[in-house]
Amino acid sequence: MRRRSLLVGAVLAAGASLGPTACSSGSVPEVPAGPDGEADPVLVAGRRVYADRCVNCHGVRGQGGRGPSLAGDSMAESYPSAADQAEVVADGKSTMPGFSNTLTPAEIEAVVRFTREVL
């Protein structure tokens, strides 16, 4: 009996330590430095919005999950115009919520640029 409760404790501890890692915003890709050696501050802001609002459904690397993949060239192909993509983020699309009430237009533009240029 004693052994079993120790085992349960170990499993719970392992689960607890996995949790934060799996959801950590730390795994969202960093914005690479631009030609001037600095990361574009708009992309850095977009990364923060992505980590806060989008990872749960689109994955830390934009690989998809509850929502489709936003990674690679997929977004630039589906939305040649970034403004059209921003409209989806603002207004939502089927089960995706719209963000026009929770994010500013500048934040939406930043997160759209982050998905197009970094993910």
Which parts of this chain interact with ligand HEC (CB under 6 A)?
Answer: 49, 53-54, 56-58, 66-68, 70, 78, 85, 88-89, 93-97, 99, 111, 115
Q: How far is the CB of 43 from ligand HEC (least distance, A)?
A: 13
**Cα dist. 60→36, 45, 96 in Å?**
27, 16, 17
CB-wise, 45 or 49, nearer to ligand HEC?
49
Three-state secondary structure readout of 19-81: HHHHHCHHHCCCCCCCCCCCCCHHHHHHHHHHHHHCHHHHCCCCCCCCCCCCCCCHHHHHCCC
**Locate tokens 């060239």: which residue?**
73
CB-wise, 39 or 76, nearer to ligand HEC?
76
d(CA 39, CA 33) in angstroms, rounded, equals 4
Is the separation of the CB atoms in 49 and 110 below 8 Å?
Answer: yes
Q: How far is the CB of 85 from ligand HEC (least distance, A)?
A: 5
Q: How far is the CB of 34 from ligand HEC (least distance, A)?
A: 22
CB-wise, 19 or 97, nearer to ligand HEC?
97
CB-wise, 42 or 96, nearer to ligand HEC?
96
Q: How far is the CB of 27 from ligand HEC (least distance, A)?
A: 16
